[in-house]
């Protein structure tokens, strides 16, 4: 595998250039994306992450696609912040099923002070199992980002969602600038960034160009770029949005691969609605990461074994994580965590 150098990564993409990529004949675009992919990654490896919702629903933000927003009635079962040992048990299961990264998501505007000790213990415990760790907890200030980094959090997820122009049609309770500030705080803390968006919310191609150009032109490109295909959830303002052309989604994957040659481009929400053939085409276009497991936060995800069957049919192997860690048995981690929790206050309702 030939390694592309940092000089190959551009941060000055113009919208016209990115439009030029979208305008290419499909086969040419896929060929170019696969060529970039092969220069930077093993084309037959896909990184596998498991995502767990550690606090579900009652979110004060008004993201119009999201069943967890308190602004919409979607019948979602709300759940307060999970206890640390329950999270660690889920992480152990994810590891046993072949995940190399464990992502924990909480439906918050931002974590508050009382949440931080629990969240930090989750990071430490999961990392001690030898899994890469990722969290998505909403906006972070500098201090919170540093605390998470010091606890060993590898990645922080905070999506840009869409283009700056389309953004206020989707969210009004936080600004695009707020999102960029959080990404900067994460970067300054030394953590890696996971940031992407959602395709199929009624945006134009120009908005897709705007989103991908923003991500590619960040001072340092995100190490992970999740691209979600909208899951239309009943009760959200997006429930009746027009269906996305799947070919257009594959184009977005291919353009993301070309713009961000060293990033893991992840197939995230919406995989349930993709056929095996479409997923295979996404891998050909340069996607090399998936969420694995039965639930993607609150929307269905193809069952774990179906993913492994597809991998076998395509000759794809899960990418192994390299995590510096003590070689410690999972049970030790769990019992240590249980002892620590005995000394803490009783559990609280973390709904905000
Ligand atoms: S901030 Fe996250 S959890 Fe809250 S409404 Fe938006 S997408 Fe949903």
Query: pLDDT band at 303, cuts 50/70/90?
Result: low
pLDDT above 50 (res 339): no
pLDDT at site 39: 95
63 lines ligand 1 (CB under 6 A): yes
pLDDT at site 336: 43
301 lines ligand 1 (CB under 6 A): no
pLDDT at site 32: 96
- If you search the block for the tokens 């969420």, which residue do you land on? 291
Say whether 226 sits in a helix, a strand or coil.
Answer: strand
The alpha-helical segments, DSSP class H, found in the chain are 15-22, 26-40, 84-96, 116-128, 142-151, 176-189, 205-216, 246-259, 276-284, 304-314, 330-342
pLDDT above 70 (res 4): no
pLDDT digits (tens, 9 = 90+) for 233-285: 889 998 999 999 999 999 999 999 999 999 999 998 788 889 999 999 999 99
pLDDT at site 321: 54
By most ligand atoms within 8 Å of CB, the mutation choice from 57, 62, 63 for ligand 1 is: 63
Say whether 70 sits in a helix, a strand or coil.
Answer: coil
CB 310 within 8 A of CB 276: yes
CB 186 within 8 A of CB 158: yes
For residue 66, the CA-to-ligand 1 centroid distance in Å is: 6
pLDDT digits (tens, 9 = 90+) for 203-235: 999 999 999 999 999 999 999 999 999 988 889
Per the confidence metrics, is the pTM higher than 0.95? no
Q: Which residue's C-alpha comes closest to atom 6 of ligand 1?
A: 63
Q: Which of 116, 112, 180 is nearest to 148 (CA)?
A: 116
- Which pair of tokens denotes residue 305? 């074994």
By most ligand atoms within 8 Å of CB, the mutation choice from 53, 103, 107 for ligand 1 is: 107
Which atom number of ligand 1 is nearest to the Cα of residue 71? 5
Once rounded to an integer, what is the mean pLDDT over residues 171-177? 94
pLDDT at site 300: 55
pLDDT at site 86: 92
pLDDT at site 70: 87
61 lines ligand 1 (CB under 6 A): yes
pLDDT above 60 (res 71): yes
């Amino acid at each position: 595998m030939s390694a592309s150098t940092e000089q190959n990564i551009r941060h000055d993409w113009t919208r016209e250039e990115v439009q030029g990529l979208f305008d290419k004949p499909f086969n040419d675009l896929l060929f170019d994306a696969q060529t970039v992919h092969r220069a930077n990654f093993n084309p037959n490896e896909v990184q596998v992450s498991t995502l767990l919702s550690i606090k579900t629903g009652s979110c004060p933000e008004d993201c119009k696609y999201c069943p967890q927003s308190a602004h919409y009635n979607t019948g979602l079962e709300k759940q307060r912040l999970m206890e640390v040992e329950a999270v660690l048990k889920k992480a152990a299961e994810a590891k046993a099923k072949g995940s190399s990264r464990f992502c924990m998501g909480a439906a918050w505007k931002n974590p508050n002070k009382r949440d931080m000790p629990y969240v930090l213990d989750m990071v430490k415990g999961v990392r001690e199992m030898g899994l890469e760790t990722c969290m998505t907890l909403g906006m972070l200030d500098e201090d919170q980002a540093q605390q998470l980094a010091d606890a060993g959090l590898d990645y922080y997820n905070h999506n840009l969602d869409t283009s700056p122009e389309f953004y206020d049609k989707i969210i009004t309770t936080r600004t695009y600038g707020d999102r960029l500030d959080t990404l900067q705080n994460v970067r300054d803390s030394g953590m890696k960034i996971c940031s992407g968006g959602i395709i199929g919310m009624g945006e134009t191609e120009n908005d897709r160009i705007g989103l991908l150009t923003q991500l590619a032109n960040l001072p340092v490109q995100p190490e992970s770029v999740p691209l979600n295909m909208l899951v239309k959830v009943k009760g959200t303002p997006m429930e009746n949005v027009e269906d996305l052309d799947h070919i257009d989604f594959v184009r977005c994957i291919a353009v993301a691969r070309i713009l961000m040659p060293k990033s893991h481009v992840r197939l995230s929400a919406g995989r349930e609605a993709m056929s095996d053939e479409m997923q295979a085409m996404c891998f050909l276009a340069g996607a090399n990461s998936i969420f694995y497991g039965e639930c993607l936060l609150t929307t269905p995800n193809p069952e774990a074994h179906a993913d492994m069957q597809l991998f076998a049919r395509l000759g794809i192997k899960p990418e192994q994580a390299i995590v510096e860690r003590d070689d410690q048995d999972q049970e030790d981690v769990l019992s240590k965590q249980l002892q620590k929790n005995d000394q803490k206050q009783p559990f609280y309702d973390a709904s905000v």
